[in-house]
Amino acid sequence: MLNTLLRLSANLRCYSASNTWCGAQTSCEKTSTGKSTGGSVSVSYGSGSFSGTEYTDKVSFGGLTVSSQSIGAASQSSGFSGVDGIIGFGPVDLTEDTVSNANTVPTFLDNLYSQGSISTEVLGVSFRPESGSDTDDTNGELTLGSTDSSKYSGSITYFSTLTSGDASAYWGISIASFTYGSTTLASSASGIVDTGTTLIYIPTKAYNKFLSATGGETDSSSGLAVFATKPTSNFGIKFGATTYTLTPSQYLVPTAQYSYYGLSSGSYYAWINDGGSSGVNTIIGQKFLENYYAVFDTTESRIGFATGV
């Protein structure tokens, strides 16, 4: 298990990351145990990109070690201010065609599972909301190969991952509905659950209904949904037969953080945003996951949620 530093960024949309790489801030070179594969690597995210060369080397994380992990050594990168790279926990399919001399490359979790370090390929994720004006609380936890029952209450409800469509390459999931109070914003959608995206993105039609129901509009400066009067109803996301709700205090930006994001006092802003009308236009990001424990289960091809504590 590992505590992780979270840095929030309004309108950040990265998408899941599966490649492991370094060198965004400082030079990344193989150690005495590293071996060059002769391959070049290039990855573009929803926000940011990197390219460079690939080697394999020993990687230790959270008390677990892979002796020969694919690592990208970045020669150029963009969009990664404040971090030096990524350890990728996304689906292995996202590594397809990212390395010149391989179709896909095993992720860190893939390697842990194949070498028997973990008995099931599961990642448990616990986020907690930022407190007060803080924007970089060290309050997240990852559990590799299992879940941590101290981080959630009740039981975990699982939903099968998608096997087709644009979202299936990621941690894709079918969504039964989006609601605001008693108003149905959308009766179905396909989207992804992504720890690398800050906001909650919903399809354009659903977003426009959300603005209409709340009397809001899109702020031209921040790009966030903004309201003159504070919304009072819950926002709901339904997976299968289970609805997960966010109260206004959970889906609105805390006023104590306005100065960090350059927001105007006297208005109210939501973490819910316009995902577009095509492609991957629904992303269940960090601002949902701060309130619900999430389980990414590769072995059983499913995603689980429970109420976070």
Give the rounded distance of the alpha carbon of 140 from its chain centre: 13
Topology classification of domain 125-308: Cathepsin D, subunit A; domain 1 (2.40.70)
Pick the closest to residue 250 from 238, 233, 264 (CA basis).
233
Domain ranges of the chain: 14-114, 125-308
> In whole angstroms, what is the distance from residue 67 CA to residue 33 CA?
9
> In whole angstroms, what is the distance from residue 243 CA to residue 240 CA?
8
> In whole angstroms, what is the distance from residue 206 CA to residue 204 CA?
5
> In whole angstroms, what is the distance from residue 307 CA to residue 292 CA?
5
Name the one residue in this structure whose structure tokens are 């893939």.
Answer: 110
Distances (CA, A) of 95 to 9, 36, 99, 153, 251: 25, 18, 8, 34, 32
- What is 14-114's CATH superfamily? Acid Proteases (2.40.70.10)
pTM value?
Answer: 0.91
Same fold, 14-114 and 125-308: yes
Pick the closest to residue 171 from 197, 153, 146, 147 (CA basis).
197
What pLDDT tens digit does each residue of the chain (309 aa) get?
222 222 233 334 556 689 999 999 999 988 999 999 999 999 998 888 999 999 999 999 989 999 999 999 999 999 888 889 999 999 999 999 999 999 999 999 999 999 999 999 999 999 988 878 877 777 889 999 999 999 999 999 999 999 999 999 999 999 999 999 999 999 999 999 999 899 999 999 999 999 999 999 999 999 999 999 999 999 999 999 999 999 999 999 999 999 989 999 999 999 999 999 999 999 999 999 999 999 999 999 999 999 999
288, 236 Cβ separation under 8 angstroms: no
Q: Which amino acid is at 126?
A: S
